[in-house]
Amino acid sequence: MNLLNSDDFWQFACTLYAKPGQQHTLLALQNQQGKNVNLCLFLLYLDSLKLSIKYEQLSVLIDSVNELDTQALKPLRATRKYLKANQHTINDYAKIREELLSAELKLEKQQQQILIDTANKFTFLEAVKPNNIQQYVKAT
């Protein structure tokens, strides 16, 4: 069994996120539909490997990242948004923003590791043209 590699996933995610339009699309899924960007990236990563997941596996992946998302990432994003809106009254705003972004990036990488660790317990189906992301976007 070939285990998924967190460094390969990180590189895939960074490359995809940097492509024109991808950041906007992924953030729209996050902000308008409440979807997890790292999970979206992971599902696209699985697509690139021609691996398909079952709905039950998707549910396990969602559950695996939910706590970190709820308890750490969402509050951190809300803090950054608040500070940005009030930056004119905050001393050292640029430095604080930079440090918050650094912390958020480290948490994002941790969340990706959780996805890898969880998925490495799965047995995947091989597929010529998997579309894992569509399954997630349609999920409530």
96-106 pLDDT, tens per residue? Answer: 999 999 999 99
For residue 135, pLDDT beyond 80: yes
Q: Are 11 and 104 spatial neighbours (Cβ–Cβ below 8 Å)?
A: no
> What is the residue-averaged pLDDT of the chain?
92
pLDDT at 109 over 60: yes
Residue 1 pLDDT greater than 60, yes or no: no
Residue range 12-26, pLDDT digits in tens: 999 998 999 998 999
Mean pLDDT of 65-92: 95
Looking at residue 140, what is its pLDDT?
62
Total-model pTM? 0.90
Exposure b/e, 72-83, CB count within 10 A at least 16 = b: ebeebeeebeee
- Backbone torsions φ then ψ of 52, nearest 5 degrees: -115, 140
Window from 40-44, 49-53, 89-93, 124-128 with minimum mean pLDDT: 124-128
Residues 15, 107: Cα–Cα separation, whole Å: 18
The pLDDT of 91-100, averaged and rounded, is 95
Q: What is the mean pLDDT of residues 25-33?
A: 89
